């Protein structure tokens, strides 16, 4: 099966890294919308336009059999429209609020995402369904998307940004931080140094891949060393050349390391 993963940028590689290991016999396409990243600070109508273009490319030209929108921001504003336009299974991503509250229904949860996701109607609905005790706080961290795109993960600037945004919260009261943007997974080691040990990470990466398998009738294997092949595209252009591919590999290697941090 030809499975496309789509993100505004390199965040979705954190989902791809897992998907290729547990579905090693499939064929993957990865689309990073490098011309338009970041999405989270742009207008909703601009993002909808970018997502339409990406789907045209992936489904109409590349004949993807299924699309994973490995981007919470694009899911928030455009997934419903794509489901109306295309017949292929489309798997979106939403901040894993339900999972975090199920793990500890009494302590607070800090949901981090992009400004579009944080202010979106989709997240508001999710909270009104699951956050019945009012335990969730929302925090937009758009700076992390820019840092991730420039491969800056643990510099003093990143630490300072994280510290300035996280320290106003009484973190000892929280059971979890939800990574509601796929770009944020690259910062788990840096965040681990700043957050109390009592606070765990929750993201939707594994759940999204399970949902992909369920919707396509595929069976996932235990993650091993075998990896499915993948073709990479930047805003519809095939990514070629040593330098571009080495850049992707370095993100994938970091994504795999971050997956081990809980
Ligand atoms: N990685 C994306 C997400 O999961 C969006 C980052 C951005 O382009 O602002 O929301």
For 144-179, write each residue's pLDDT tens digit.
999 999 999 999 999 999 999 999 999 999 999 999
Residues of the chain with pLDDT under 50: none
Boundary (domain end) residue, out of 185, 202, 219: 202
Token pair listed for 126:
């999710």
For residue 185, which of 98, 254, 130 has the smallest C-alpha distance?
Answer: 254
Which letter does DSSP use for residue 120 in this model? -
Indicate whether residue 181 lines ligand 1 (CB < 6 A).
yes
Q: What is the pLDDT of residue 15?
A: 98
181 assigned to active site: yes
Q: What is the pLDDT of residue 179?
A: 98
Say whether 60 sits in a helix, a strand or coil. Answer: helix
Residues 6+ apart with CB under 8 A from 82: 51, 52, 55, 67, 69, 90
Q: What is the pLDDT of residue 250?
A: 97
Catalytic residue of the set 71, 123, 230, 258: 71
For residue 102, which of 175, 15, 184 has the smallest C-alpha distance?
Answer: 175
In terms of domains, do 71 and 116 share one? no
> Any idea what the CATH number is for the domain that residue 212 is in?
3.40.50.1860
Domain containing residue 190: 97-202
Residue 151, CB-side half-sphere exposure with 13 Å CA sphere = 9
Q: What is the pLDDT of residue 223?
A: 84
Scored b (16 or more CB within 10 A) or e, 27-61 reads ebbbbbbbebbbbbebebeebeebbebbbebbbee
Q: What is the pLDDT of residue 255?
A: 97
Boundary (domain end) residue, out of 169, 186, 202: 202
- The pTM is what? 0.97
Token pair listed for 18:
């897992």
Q: What is the pLDDT of residue 225?
A: 82
Residue 171, CB-side half-sphere exposure with 13 Å CA sphere = 18
In terms of domains, do 191 and 230 share one? no
Based on the structure, what is the number of domains in the chain?
Answer: 2
For 231-254, write each residue's pLDDT tens digit.
999 999 999 899 999 999 999 999
Residue 74 CA: nearest ligand 1 atom is 10
Indicate whether residue 72 lines ligand 1 (CB < 6 A).
yes
């Amino acid at each position: 099966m030809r499975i496309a993963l789509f993100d505004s940028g390199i965040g979705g590689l954190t989902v791809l890294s897992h998907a290729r290991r547990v579905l090693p016999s499939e064929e993957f396409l990865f689309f990073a919308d490098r011309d338009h990243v970041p999405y989270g600070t742009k207008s909703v109508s601009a993002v909808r336009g970018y997502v339409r273009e990406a789907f045209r490319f992936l489904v109409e030209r590349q004949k993807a059999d299924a699309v994973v929108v490995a981007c919470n921001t694009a899911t928030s504003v455009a997934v419903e429209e794509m489901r109306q336009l295309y017949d292929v299974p489309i798997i979106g991503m939403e901040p894993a609020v339900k999972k975090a509250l199920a793990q500890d229904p009494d302590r607070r949860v800090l949901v981090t995402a992009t400004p579009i996701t944080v202010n979106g109607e989709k997240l508001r609905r999710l909270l009104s369904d699951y956050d019945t005790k009012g335990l969730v706080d929302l925090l937009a961290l758009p700076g992390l998307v820019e840092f991730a795109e420039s491969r800056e993960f643990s510099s003093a600037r990143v630490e300072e940004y994280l510290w300035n945004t996280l320290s106003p919260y009484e973190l000892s009261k929280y059971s979890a931080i939800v990574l509601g943007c796929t770009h944020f997974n690259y910062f788990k080691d840096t965040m681990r140094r700043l957050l109390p040990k009592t606070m765990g990470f929750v993201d939707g990466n594994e759940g999204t891949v399970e949902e992909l398998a369920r919707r396509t009738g595929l069976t996932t294997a235990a993650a091993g060393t075998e990896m499915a092949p993948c073709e990479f595209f930047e805003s519809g252009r095939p990514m070629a050349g040593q330098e571009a591919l080495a850049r992707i590999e370095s993100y994938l290697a970091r994504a795999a390391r971050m997956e081990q941090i809980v």
